Amino acid sequence: MVDFSKWAAFTSQKTNRSLAGSRVFIEDENKENNNSNNINSGNNSNNSNVQKFLQNAQSWGIIPVNSKEDADFCVKICAKNLETTVDAPNLSGKDAIDYAQNHMPVMRTLLNNLQENGLNLEGVRIAVCLVLEPKTAVLLRELHAHGAIVGVFCGPDETDQRVADQLKKEGILVQANRDWSPEQTHEGALKLLDEIQPDIIIDDGASFARLASLERPQIAANLIGVAEETTSGVRAFEAMQKAGHLHYPVIAVNNSALKTDFDNRHGTGETCVTTMQQILGSECFENAKVTVVGYGPVGRGFALRIRALGAKVTICDTNPVQSLRAVFDGFEAKNLECAVKESNIIVSATGVRHTITLQNMQNMQENAILAVIGGIANEIALDEIPDFKPVVGTAQRKIQVPRGPQITLISEGDGTNYTTGGGNPIEIMDFSFAVQVSAVAYLLEHNGNKDGNKNGNKNNDNRLDSGIYQLPESSDNQIARIALAKRGYSASEANKNNGYKWDLTRFAEEANS
């Protein structure tokens, strides 16, 4: 029986499909009648390897099914070599985008539904600043196909060049090149702002909107609004608002349940594990002592998965409630200064600058492994190491900590899954980009009617002032219903006549019984 850790690493990295939420069928090719009900339902006590595989799979959020036809993945009991039907990293740009698009039905369905209900993207200028890879390309394609004028900027370390080249062929404005210097990167970002003159920015880390505010204030002043993808970006906009420098509405896409509970916990949590397995070996977490810094959705998703792979995990979080939550999830919670001295692997999952300080690195063990799964500049204090210069595309390398040990740095201290791996899984990004689409629609509904745009209301009723906003719960529910239906599931219906009255207490009910 194939080992779960090897299968998960291989399948995740080769297909870029989401393992969480998927359905797996265990195939016994030695059986004539291969319905294998007992194997997949967990009743085969004679095959401990199968049971262990299924237990690990379910701890990752994978559902065993009894039919090959119902499965997203099939695992052969006696397979000597792992295999998959696609090798996503090695597809051409067009084929990679097409492949992702085939597995992203939720965003497309939502866009069509919104259009049928009055959304008009014709001529709306949208600048996108996100990791440029096949899933992002699908978002750009769909917006472009619905009439928007779309452009994308991305830094060199987050650019999939085959995707950038293909999008240019499809008529989408692209400012992204994997070979750019820092000066060229800055120039490219400003060039996209000047070219597209955006009505709306879809942003990551508040990078593009802050650039507009600082260096193109006239563009920032004319924005309908911004849709922000990340935790770190929302924090940046909160700081801008506190300082009195936020002059447009921001939709905190990151705060949507469909983003935080799925993209952060399952998407980033899962692919950071499998990318590190790709770099260090599929069994790298077995019996390893791992410190995870930050127990938000990303840190929790990562920690739960590596524990299933055999790691002994310690959690470090400055929030005592989060630390207590970790303890009740079965993890030790310690101060970071103590934990780093005892760990083989240290992973930062905060999205906060200098989470790992130079002193923390000096206290690490010789040859300790250090990685980031949060993903902002200098989440590790590498800027305090003299002569350290990141090299784009480096999966791992040894660095000498001043007055400290030699350690192994993963992905140059940047977000591991999107710099070295294929980014978050396709199905997960389908949800996140559906939320982005909802944010665009919400901004246009409330603050449209700019330059003849047909969205919104002409009387300025319910316009959004500058500030940070969250999408209504109905938006998440709409996306979730589409996602459930695409998988053959549904939510339960509530009894609308449940008789709840504020003045009907248990005392009144007991008196009448």
- Binding annotation for NAD(+): 296-301, 417
Q: DSSP character for 384? A: G
Report d(CA 53, CA 57) in Å as an integer.
6
Is residue 210 within 8 Å of residue 235, measured between CB atoms? no
The letter for the amino acid at 190 is L
Report d(CA 342, CA 221) in Å as an integer.
51
Report d(CA 11, CA 273) in Å as an integer.
12
Q: Say if residue 45 is exposed, middle or buried (CB neighbours under 10 Å; 0-12, 13-18, 19+).
A: exposed
Angle at 337 between CA 331 and CA 339, to 5 degrees: 30
Strand partners for 22 = none
Of residues 300, 417, 310, the one with CA closest to residue 350: 300
CA distances from 98 to 127, 426, 486 (A): 22, 12, 18
What's the maximum distance between 2 C-alpha atoms anywhere in the chain? Answer: 80
Q: Which residues are annotated as a binding site?
A: 296-301, 417
> Rg of the Cα trace of the chain?
24
Report d(CA 318, CA 324) in Å as an integer.
11
Q: DSSP character for 264? A: I
Strands of the 200-203 sheet, one edge to the other: 173-176, 149-154, 125-129, 200-203, 225-228, 249-252, 467-469
